Amino acid sequence: MNHPAIDMSGVGKTYRFFSLENIELKLPRGEIMGLIGPNGAGKSTTIRILLGLVHQDHGDVRVLGHPMPAGQVAAKWDIGFASEDMRLYESQTLGWHMQWMQSIYRNWDSGYAQRLLQRFGLRAEQRLKGISHGQRVKSTLLLVLARKPKLLVLDEPTTGLDPVARHEILRELTDVMRDEGRSVLFSSHNTQDVEQISDRITFIDRGRIIDSMDKEMFLDRWRRLRLEAPFGVTLPALPGVIGVRQEGRMAIATTNAFNPGLPHAYEQTGARVQRIENMTLEEIFVANVERSREEVEV
Amino acid sequence: MNRSLIGELVLKDWRLYRPMILSCIVAGVGALALSQWGNEPTLVVGAVGFFIAIIMAGTMLPLAGIMTERKNKHLAFLMSLPITFLEYTTAKLISTLLIFLVPWLTLVILAISVIEFRNFVPHGVIPMTLILSGLPFVGMCIMIAAALVGESEGWAIAANVFCQSSYGLTWYFLDRIPVLHNNASKPKPVWDPLTLNILGGELVLILVILALTYFLQSRKRDFVF
């Protein structure tokens, strides 16, 4: 019973103009993973493989211990999936959808569904036609959360939401995470949202996973050093530094393996360390993507 | 096969498309009532209205139940349920067929009963009525196949246009077949080999299209939504 919630190994899928290459992804139970990537990076394809809707060309996929796609029915009883482009039946009310879900899922928690209705400010008797995007996303999340899934897979759930709706949804998700047995895969290109709720972060770009680790480790390891170089000297990229941008005497070194010895090492080259800055997840993401693309081009 | 969930999906479609089906039945019954008014123009208008009601049901169901579901992005929601792609296909085939059978059987039985008991047209038109009523059934299966297998609005529209334009044309050619034309004016229905072959052909066509749809869907590896 201690299988990881998600275990992808060596997974590949090739389309005519896009391919997912050698995806290795592991999400232990009870953890929240943020999957960050630009548009077209492969987030949705990865998620569809996880749900068994797209068959991988090669590699092994297990979700909650079930092999995918063969075990998709058994797995999906315990998966709650919501995506930004998911739509409910607009001619019907939210209550109609709730009743329908209740008739399907044994785990449906009516009390929790009623609490979510109140917290999200939704009305069960309201037809879904004409409701706002925020209300639509909240309605979808209500239907997903009240099933009490063991694994939540959220594909860009906060895209297009106003700040208040985003805050409400992220707060609810944070509350949901208090249930330690529940795992979450949260895909987004909005790093702020992911940073707020995730334990682990995985960056994906052009069909490849370019980095994956604990969020705190990411924030800890990545630093930007603002340096002043001696006149006429081009500063090198020391070990652990992934790039140095220099204009005149001013230089910025970005590292993904910061250690206290690094500033000292630069001082030994004659540079003066002006400032050591923490990087936001967004900056780390962009730097990671740029480095990965440079590597691929080389 | 996940029978309970397939059943849930079929029931869901029934709840969603009940009003649509009811409106087709009401339109068909109205047309049949009009056809008995007693003069030729109302008979023709009523007969045409009757077939339009059946064609409407056969067109709206695949378009609303499959194409609009895809276009309105309900598929992501449906496929998050514990079903496979093939089970979804099975549910769609069953629900569209069963739901279509409600207005089709109601209207066809009603039409034959009206011809049989009201005596305002020769009973010889019964076989032709059945043949012509079978065409929208075949057309609906073509539209189901295009919507499911084609996975695009373009294919569904193309199939729809093809079917709609074929009905009138087929009607015209069937009426030009001397045996069928002459039989239609006889006081009793004539079940000659040609009539039975055409009816059998329609049935075989329906089964082949549905089986082919299922086969093609079963070979797909990826579900597009």
Are B76 and A51 contacting, i.e. CB atoms less than 8 angstroms apart? no
pLDDT band at A179 (very low <50, low <70, confident <90, very high): low
Q: Which residue has the higher pLDDT, A40 or B198?
A: B198
B12 touches chain A (CB under 8 A): yes
pLDDT at A1 over 60: no
Which residues of B fall within a CB distance of 8 Å from A90? 72
Please give the distance of CA B89 from its chain centroid, rounded to a whole number.
18
A157–chain B Cβ distance below 8 A for any pair: no
B45-95: per-residue pLDDT in tens? 999 999 999 999 999 999 988 998 888 889 999 999 999 999 999 999 999
Report the DSSP beta bridge partners of residue A14: A19
Query: What Cα–Cα distance (Å) separates residue B105 from each residue in A117, A281, B54?
Result: 43, 63, 10
- State the helix-helix crossing angle for B40-62 and B85-118, rounded to 10 degrees: 170
pLDDT for A13 equals 94
Q: What is the pLDDT of residue A275?
A: 93
Mean pLDDT, all residues of chain A: 90
Convert the pLDDT of each residue in A83-92 to its tens digit.
988 899 999 9
Q: In angstroms, rounded to a whole number, what is the distance separating the alpha carbons of residues A119 and A71?
A: 35
- Are A73 and B83 an interchain contact pair (Cβ–Cβ within 8 Å)? yes
Answer whether B80 sits within 8 Å of A80, measured CB to CB: yes
Closest partner residue to A85 among B16, B73, B80, by Cβ?
B73
Roughly what angle, to the nearest 10 degrees, separates helices B85-118 and B193-218?
Answer: 160
Alpha-carbon dihedral of residues B133, B134, B136, B142, nearest 10 degrees? Answer: 180
Which residue of A51, A86, A103 is in closest CB contact with B77? Answer: A86
β pairing state of A66-67 and A58-63: antiparallel
Q: Which of A53, A76, A86 sits opposite B73 (nearest CB)?
A: A86
**pLDDT greater than 90 at residue A235:** no
Between A198 and B197, residue with greater pLDDT: B197
Give the model's pLDDT for residue A197.
85
Between chains, do B85 and A53 touch, taking CB under 8 Å as contact? yes
Q: Which residues of A150-172 are buried (b: 16+ CB within 10 A; e: fewer)?
A: bbbbbbbbbbebeeebbebbbeb
> Residue B218: exposed, middle, or buried by beta-carbon count in 10 A (0-12, 13-18, 19+)?
exposed
Q: Average pLDDT, stretch A169-193?
A: 82
pLDDT, mean of residues B150-156: 88
Percent of chain B scoring above 90 in pLDDT = 78
Task: Write out pLDDT tens, residues A254-265.
Answer: 999 999 899 999
Q: What is the pLDDT of residue A165?
A: 83
**Rounded to a whole number, what is the distance in Å from the CA of B81 to chain A's nearest CA?**
6
Is residue A58 less than 8 Å (CB to CB) from chain B?
no
Per the DSSP assignment, residues forming a β-bridge with A25 are A8
Residue A190 has pLDDT above 70, yes or no: yes
Check pLDDT > 70 for residue B113.
Answer: yes
Burial A2-39, CB ≥16 within 10 A → b, else e: eebbbbbeebebeeeeebbeebebbbebebbbbbbbee
- The nearest CA of chain B is from the CA of A137 a distance in Å of 12
- Of A156 and B144, the structure prediction assigns the larger pLDDT to B144
**From B72, B76, B82, residue closest to A83, measured CB to CB:** B76
Tokens representing A17 are 């103009």
Residue A180 pLDDT greater than 70, yes or no: no
A295 compared with B104, residue with greater pLDDT: B104
pTM score of the predicted model: 0.86
Q: What is the ipTM of this complex?
A: 0.85
